[in-house]
Structures are given as C-alpha cells and as structure tokens.
Amino acid sequence: MNSRAKIEASIIMKPIYMAGPWITEHEIGVVEDAMRNGWYEHAYDYCEKFQKEFASYHNRKYGIMTPNCTTAIHLLLSALGVGDGDEVILPECTWIATGAGITYQRATPVFCDIEPVNWCLDPQSVDKQITPRTKAIIAVDLFGNMPLMDELAEIAKRNNIVLIEDAAEAVGSTYKGVRAGKFGIGSVFSFHRTKTITTGEGGMLLLDDDELYERCMFLRDHGRKSDGPMYYNYEVTYKYMPFNLQAALGYAQFQRIDELVGRKREQLLMYRERLNEIDDIELNPEPPAGVNGAWITGLVFGKSHNMTKLKAMEEMSGLGVPCRPFFYPLSSLPAYPGCREKYEPLNPAAYDISMRGINLPGAANVTVEQIDKVCDGIKTILGYKTR
C-alpha cells in the first residue's frame, strides 16, 4: 500500500459517529475565561449573555437557560398551569422528552399523527383530537424539519389553547422566513452533547410574555422572588438553574452558529446528492419558504423497497456503518402502557413511517469519505450499484 492509500484507508477505518460536537480553540478559550474569571460577581455573566443574545437572535424577548431541554419544557408547562385532568397534544414520533413534562405535571399526553411529507405533527390529526380538556399543543421540529406552523397556530387560536414549539433539534431551521424558536407562546432548545450547538447537557426556553417570564424565573429557582427577601420561598418549586461554565460553552458555540449549522446542511446536501439516483426514498425536506437546519439526516425507505428500519440498521452495521432508528411512536412504547390499542388506528402514518425510517450519521466530524461509505452502504442494501 502506498502512503496515500494508507492515509485513505486510515480515514475510512476511523469510526463513523452518529452524533458529536465541533469544539475549537475558541470554545476552549471562552470556557477557560469562565473558569478563571466567572465567579463572585461574575458567576452568571455567561448565562446572562447567552440567554440575551440567543433570545434576540430568535426575535424573542426572553431567554431562560435550564440544565437541559427536558426541564425547559417542564418549566413552561408548569408555568402555564398545566396539571391534573388537562390534556396536552404532541406528535407520536419524537424523543420522549417532548412529553415527559406532561406526565410530571400529572396531565395526559395525547398523541397525534405525523405528516408523510415532513414527519411532523399533522394539523388535521390535531384538530380531531382536541377536547374541552386540551390545554396545549407541543409541535416538534423533527430533525430540523418544520411542521405546518400556520395551520397549527390557527388551530391553537381557534380553540383558545397555547402552542409550544419544541425546537430542540431545529437550530438553524426557518419556516417562511421565520427562525425556528419563534413559534407559539414559548419554544425550547436542547444543547445536549449530540446537538448542533452543545453545552454537554443544557437547554433554553424562549418567551415573549412578561408575566410568563416572571413565573418561569420564579419556578426555576425554588419559588423565590428576585426582589423578595433573602431565603424567603413562596412555593416549593424546582431547581433548574444553569451553570456559568455550561453557558460559556454554549455562548462560544452560538458565536459559531453559521459555521455549525453550515456543516450540518452540507451533510444533508451531500447525502441528498449521493442518494439522488435511488428511487422511492425521502430525506429531510426543506420547509416551506425556509431552510432545514438538518440536525440529523433522516431517511425513509419507500414501500417498494420492502425495507424496515431494523433490517436496514442490521445490514448497515454489517457494512461498518452505524444508523439509528426513526423514533418509535410514543404510544407503542412500554412507557405508555395500554396506549397502542387506542392510538395505532388513529395515527397510521406515524406507525407506518416509523417502521421504515432511519437516521444517518451526523456527527460534526463525519468526513466526505465517510459520507461516501454511508451512501454506498445504503445503495448496497437496496441492491443498487456502488461507485
């Protein structure tokens, strides 16, 4: 083997990661600054900067950083007064975190179907499942795709309930020229170690309403008032405070948002280009008059391929390529006992698409050669010729 071939082989041999961040000297420098100087009167400086600038970037009045996005959703539901006997609508196919806060509040999750075109909440399904007990709709920007936000907002308005946007996966996406994170009464983001902008663990709640902001701030820190007496708690609430080092990392990553989202979009475009010749598969679509932030590339096999996600993952793994399953319908999971019987007939698209979908590797360090290898793998398992 000559040296060039050796280098190429070593690149190909490197593991392909599903998810992972892009950390540079910039982030290391900012975190070092927080480590050296972010104490005493500076203990929240980066939290404040990150909250303010992240909110303003998304054209929101307030940003509230939380330990993760799961707690951001819970904080908002709690502040909205969602509780016993209430119902909250969410899509079948999402990470369980979207709905966990509903259960923490002892309310009932109501699972709605997804749209075949964007794999997000289907407004018609939502319309059918609204009852007098429905308190909120949580729309999820799955993988960076966008739901039909206009229609969901109209349904929420008509029924006098609130719309919440779970934008955990949608940094960098836009819909009709509006950034993901600007829809509904509040939106949430995740900075989990797998996300486009990461703080390892971390989340952000964005709001516009003054009263709701005050209530969330109160609930976030043990039920005390910012202008109240010291050590004086009015209610037993939560401790969902952020940490300055975590915020420093998030702030530094946020300063590179175009570069980070740019790389994700490049990956989606490379997958699209290389898989273009395959009939009857779908990858993340671009939203109406918008851009897909492409946190991860989803691939749904058309029925003609007779390919399930589990079979595809097994065969791809045999070729040395990791893939992940499209989210299972939440109502099919043991976490929600007895729900499958009710929801499978109501949500046929979710049950069907989930069976046929996988996620392709989307770590920030995935190389062009690795994307070639992933695409060759997909072609091989579908019986197409590779390069």
**Which phi and psi angles does 14 have, rounded to 5°?**
-60, 145
CB closer to ligand PLP, 168 vs 268 = 168
* Least distance to ligand PLP, CB of residue 169, Å: 5
What is residue 318's three-state secondary structure?
helix
CB closer to ligand PLP, 74 vs 373 = 74
Told to check if 264 binds ligand PLP by CB under 6 A, we report no
Beta strand spans in the chain (E): 62-66, 87-91, 108-112, 134-140, 162-166, 174-175, 178-179, 186-190, 203-207, 281-283, 297-301, 324-325, 357-360
> Across the strands, what pairs with 203?
66, 190
Told to check if 168 binds ligand PLP by CB under 6 A, we report yes
According to CB under 6 A, which one of 173, 187, 190, 284 is a site residue for ligand PLP? Answer: 190
Residues 147-166, one symbol each (x = binds ligand PLP by CB under 6 A, - = not), give -------------------x
What is residue 215's three-state secondary structure?
helix
DSSP 226: T
Among 200, 196, 219, 230, CA closest to 363:
196
Told to check if 249 binds ligand PLP by CB under 6 A, we report no
Told to check if 180 binds ligand PLP by CB under 6 A, we report no
* Least distance to ligand PLP, CB of residue 112, Å: 15
- Report how far residue 141's alpha carbon sits from residue 138's, in angstroms, rounded to the nearest whole number: 10
Cβ atoms 87, 107 nearer than 8 A: yes
Told to check if 68 binds ligand PLP by CB under 6 A, we report yes
Told to check if 351 binds ligand PLP by CB under 6 A, we report no
According to CB under 6 A, which one of 64, 97, 102, 180 is a site residue for ligand PLP? Answer: 97
Residue showing tokens 């940003």:
63
Told to check if 69 binds ligand PLP by CB under 6 A, we report yes
- Scanning 95-103, 266-274, 302-310, 352-360 for contacts with ligand PLP by CB under 6 A, the matching segment is 95-103
CB closer to ligand PLP, 94 vs 125 = 94
**Residue-by-residue DSSP string for 48-64:** HHHHHHHHHHTT-SEEE
Is the Cα dihedral 227, 230, 232, 238 positive or negative?
positive
Told to check if 120 binds ligand PLP by CB under 6 A, we report no
According to CB under 6 A, which one of 58, 60, 179, 192 is a site residue for ligand PLP? Answer: 192
Told to check if 70 binds ligand PLP by CB under 6 A, we report yes
Binding stretches for ligand PLP (CB under 6 A): 68-70, 94-95, 97-98, 140, 166, 168-169, 190, 192, 203
